[in-house]
Amino acid sequence: MMDLKEIGQRAKDASYILGTMDSQRKNEGLRAAASELSGRREEILRANEEDLRLAREKGMAQGLLDRLLLTPERIEGIVTGMAQVIDLEDPIGQVLSMKKRPNGLLIGQKRVPLGVVGIIYEARPNVTADAFALCFKTGNAVILRGGSDAINSNRAMVSCIRDGLKKCGIPEDSVQLITDTSRETATGFMRLNGYLDVLIPRGGAGLIRSVVENSTVPVIETGTGNCHVYVDESADLDMALDIVFNAKTQRIGVCNACESLLVHRDAAERFLPRLKEKLEEKQVEIRGDEASRAVVPEFAAASEEDWGKEYLDYILSCKIVDSVDEAIRHINRYNTGHSETIVTESYENAQRFLDQVDAAAVYVNASTRFTDGFEFGFGAEIGISTQKLHARGPMGLLALTSTKYIIYGNGQIRK
């Protein structure tokens, strides 16, 4: 097992320097890191080939192999992404408010980095550069623990980034990779209180659950999305069709895809046969409750388990409800707090849905697929928070910051 406390201390030391570094200097570091990644592309691709070879030997599934794969184009994409981060405004150092108290104390609240951020993720080497860039831009040191299947790619990329920083005279320990991929080290990492200010898991439901269960450092829970579309009685059914089709099929493996459809009883007969036809274009399997199967007998039968399921596949569960209130209750019972949408022409139902549905993003007449840092205009995304603490919904640079109170006195003591 690696000496995690030593890694933590090095990150902490780097974070004190990064925390007061001006934006210009941080952008220099990002440029140097990007140029090193771009210039040493061949070295990264060779390391990635080794990862792919080992993964194929282990019989890794095609989808996972694709996530692991780097190509010259993908590396250029990563480098372009870093250039976009350079262009973003640096939120650190902003003073959010400054007020004089009756006793003369001037109390300001200043935006500061979190300090040391830990990222635990799967075998997706693009996350390595991405997470570094966002953490570094916000003055945080980052400790990365990527999936073991990408270890060679990650080593190569982190070595490039560290060399780029070193050339600028910026502490290399701004980014560190945990190269020991054992479970003991992962658990130790999740319990590195006193060094890690926050841990962000990025990956599937299993990874996130494990981090939530085992961590003693503060965690930002990201990701899983059991997202619903509710088609109200008054919905424009052409619009509803487009939205369900888009939310279900535009990309199936993502957390903001629609997994479950609720339809008002009075719209079911007009809507469900058309929906079935439309979704057949993409061979979507629909698993319906009894009422919906009475309308379209070809639907498969849904079980209780289907209502809580994130399929990430060409499968959709479907249930008929009697009212917007029943839809809201169902969603609040089974959702994961990610993204929910109502299709309606009713002002009252739209407002009620927006008010009462408990989720990070609640839509009227739009696809759930928009829940994303770029679509929301943040210019970046470190993940999508499904918890309510600290950050909720797509997380841009601000989610990687904290605040501190700065207080100017002239000798005040408490009476």
Which of 49, 163, 172, 242: binder of a copy of itself (CB under 8 A)? Answer: 242
Is there binding between residue 96 and a copy of itself (CB under 8 A)?
Answer: no
In this structure, the chain runs to a length of 415
Pair type for strands 95-100 and 106-113:
antiparallel
CA 304 → CA 90, 121, 194, 222, 322, distances in Å? 47, 31, 43, 25, 18
- Block residue for tokens 């995690």: 4
| Binding region for a copy of itself (CB under 8 A) out of 67-75, 99-107, 119-127, 291-299 | 99-107
Which residues inside 112-151 make contact with a copy of itself, applying CB under 8 A?
114-115
Is there binding between residue 205 and a copy of itself (CB under 8 A)?
Answer: no
Query: Which tokens in the block code for residue 197?
Result: 């200010």
DSSP state of 21: -
Nearest Cα neighbor of 336 from 355, 310, 313, 311 is 310
Cβ 217 to a copy of itself, closest distance in Å? 9
Residue 182: strand, helix, or coil: coil
Crossing angle for the helix pair 265-280 and 237-249, nearest 10 degrees?
A: 50
Which residues inside 309-338 make contact with a copy of itself, applying CB under 8 A?
332
Which residue number, 61 or 413, has a Cβ lying nearer to a copy of itself? 413
| Binding region for a copy of itself (CB under 8 A) out of 119-127, 176-184, 313-321, 403-411 | 403-411
Which of 77, 81, 204, 218: binder of a copy of itself (CB under 8 A)? Answer: 218
Cβ 212 to a copy of itself, closest distance in Å? 6
Is there binding between residue 3 and a copy of itself (CB under 8 A)?
Answer: no
Cβ 86 to a copy of itself, closest distance in Å? 22
Pair type for strands 383-385 and 393-395:
antiparallel
Which of 243, 268, 279, 397: binder of a copy of itself (CB under 8 A)? Answer: 243
CA distance 90 to 95: 13
Residues binding a copy of itself: number (CB under 8 A): 66
DSSP notation for 118-152: EEEE-S-HHHHHHHHHHHHHTT-EEEEE--GGGHH
CA distance 357 to 229: 12
Note the residues at the interface with a copy of itself (CB under 8 A). 16, 19-20, 99, 101, 105, 107, 114-115, 193, 197-198, 212-213, 216, 218-221, 236, 239, 242-243, 245-247, 250, 332, 354-356, 358-367, 369-371, 375-377, 387-390, 392-393, 402-414
